[in-house]
Amino acid sequence: MTPQFGFSEILILALLAIIVVGPKDLPVLMRNIGKFFSTLQSLGNEFKTAFADMDATNEISEIQKEISSLKDFGKYENFLDSDIKEELFSLDAELREEILPSDKKTDGSVS
């Protein structure tokens, strides 16, 4: 929670500043205080921006990992064990042999 100052607190602080610093040096003090708070605010904003950039970078890398895992998800090799893979490859070879005419079957005789 940020502290809240009422009119009476601000008036007391102004009178105390006039007494301690003096009316001649008060504008210089207020200017320096303003510069300090401005610098503090800009550092805070820079810090916040750096953390937002780091968070965005982490989020982007997580999204890239998720995309690559989704790409791998569609590959049937990830779901099959070696026996099923061999059976599928042999079935694929048989189908290709039946569909595509091979040079091995043609022995020169016409049927």
pLDDT per residue as tens digits for the range 54-99: 888 888 888 888 888 877 766 666 566 777 778 888 888 888 888 8
Task: Return the domain boundaries, the chain.
Answer: 11-99
Q: Which two tokens stand for residue 93?
A: 């070879």
What pTM was computed for the model?
A: 0.44
3-state secondary structure the chain: CCCCCCHHHHHHHHHHHHHHHCCCCHHHHHHHHHHHHHHHHHHHHHHHHHHHHHHHHHHHHHHHHHHHHHHHHCCHHHCCCHHHHHHHHHHHHHHHHHHCCCCCCCCCCCC
In terms of pLDDT, which residue wins out, 51 or 76? 51
